[in-house]
Amino acid sequence: MKKIIAAFYAVIMAILGITAPGDDLVPLEPREGVYTEENIALFREVYETEMEWLASLQLDNGAIPMTYSANGELRMNPYFADFAALALLDKSDEYADEVKAYMEWHFAHLNTAETDYNGVDSTIYDYLITVKDGKVTGETIAMYKRNYSYDSTDSYAATFLSVLNKYYNETGDSEYIISHADEIERIINALFATFHKGLTTAKPDWRVKYLMDNCEVYEGLLDAAELYGNVLNDLGENYKATADKCAATATEVADTIESQLWLPILGHYQVGAWRIIGTTSDIFSWNKYYPCATAQLFPIIHGLIAPNTERANKLYDKFCESYDWANFEYDDIFYWGANLQAAVKMNDMGRIVTYMTNYAELMDDHAYPLYNADAARVCLAASELLEKYG
């Protein structure tokens, strides 16, 4: 019976002109991108300016809030701060100490099972930090409705694991990693706390398996496995077991995204699936900028599909047909540095230059709606460009 169904499926796909699962991952000729000296100067100017701004956000307690004011209340979202740290590590000779101070803040604010409202050890909340004359005077846990606030537990853990691995790769500071080995184990356990049949749900009380989150989880698990292999495996067999588990689970996440979230007949990824009932979390439309359209770029950004494949090209081209994103023409107020990261992966020179030019003109005062993670993604993209062409 399965063979009959498979044959029927193949006929339907052939009629519709759709490739079979996996066929669209065969490498193609890469896109061509030519960068002039003028363009490289633009990338370098944006990179240096935004890196300096990111570093200037850091408070005296190590936190990197979403934006800055010398007086008032600032929002500290650890997930967004992770991207700031990842960007700053591209200039580790200048900013390694700042990233280390941020990591110390992060470790110090890990919840216990008793303090987490879902009873999960080593999650981390968003915070509201009060400053006066640029100095921290107090911190309170941010609230959402009646609960303490975090947007997710899976991505928060995954991106911090990526920070830790990049910090080690850039600095070689194994002593610091070893000194926090127990907390790193706890963070990995927090990531696994919502793991279910190949994917994580966003958090214990929001049981949706999101594509975006799981792309970050995939990369975070690979980074954790690498960090353990380079530093922590020698501490004991239990650490070696954790490394093996992270590597194996990363493969499982990638396979499950492919088998459960990729919809070859429709030519897009499912945005998310409810854990219990197994249905889609969002009715997909390319006209829904977020989360539907933007989610399609995350497998490219986080390395689940190579940019020189048919699938990546079709998804990226459809996104660009749907939105003039390089001129910020979409139904959202934010600058979406993730789009630029995808463009760099796809070697889309024209849109990269357009986005960078517009961004440079808009960022003179770094006013809202710019925030740390968007600027960080721009820096990560610019750093990749400069490494390749600069």
The predicted-structure confidence for 89-114, as pLDDT tens digits, reads as follows: 999 999 999 999 999 999 999 999 99
The answer on pLDDT for 30 being more than 70 is no
CATH at residue 215: 1.50.10.10
Number of domains in the chain: 1
Q: Is the backbone of residue 98 left (phi > 0), alpha (psi -120 to 50) or beta?
A: alpha
Per the structure block, which two tokens stand in for 199? 């994917």
- Does the structure show a pLDDT above 60 at 1? no
The reply to whether 223 falls in a domain is yes
Determine, yes or no, domain membership for 3.
Answer: no
Task: With a cut of 50, say whether residue 362 has pLDDT above it.
Answer: yes
Residue 137 lies in a domain: yes
Window from 174-178, 196-200, 276-280 with minimum mean pLDDT: 276-280
pLDDT computed for residue 147 by the predictor = 82
What is the average per-residue pLDDT within 169-179?
98
Taking the C-alpha atoms of residue 126 and residue 116, their distance in angstroms, rounded to an integer, is 12
User: How far is Cα 21 from Cα 373, in angstroms, rounded to an integer?
Assistant: 34
pLDDT exceeds cutoff 60 at 51? yes
Is 50 exceeded by the pLDDT of residue 365? Answer: yes
pLDDT at position 278, please?
65
Instruction: Judge whether 357 lies within some domain.
Output: yes
Does residue 4 lie within any of the structural domains?
Answer: no
- When pLDDT is averaged across residues 8-33 and rounded to a whole number, the result is 57
pLDDT for position 22:
65
381 lies in some domain: yes
- pTM as predicted: 0.92
pLDDT at 246 > cutoff 60: yes
Q: Is the pLDDT of residue 217 over 80?
A: yes
The answer to the question of residue 16 being in a domain is no
Residue 13 lies in a domain: no
Sign of CA dihedral 283, 286, 290, 294: positive
In sequence order, what are the beta bridge partners of 148? 143
More confident residue, 362 or 26: 362
Phi then psi for residue 139, to 5 deg, are -135, 140
Burial class (CB in 10 A: 0-12, 13-18, 19+), 99: buried
Q: Which long-range contacts (CB under 8 A, 24 or more apart) does 248-253 make?
A: 249/192, 249/195, 249/221, 250/218, 250/221, 250/222, 250/225, 252/198, 253/198, 253/199, 253/200, 253/214, 253/217, 253/218, 253/221
Type of residue numbered 75: R
Range of the domain at 194: 21-389
Predicted confidence (pLDDT) at residue 69 exceeds the cutoff of 90: yes
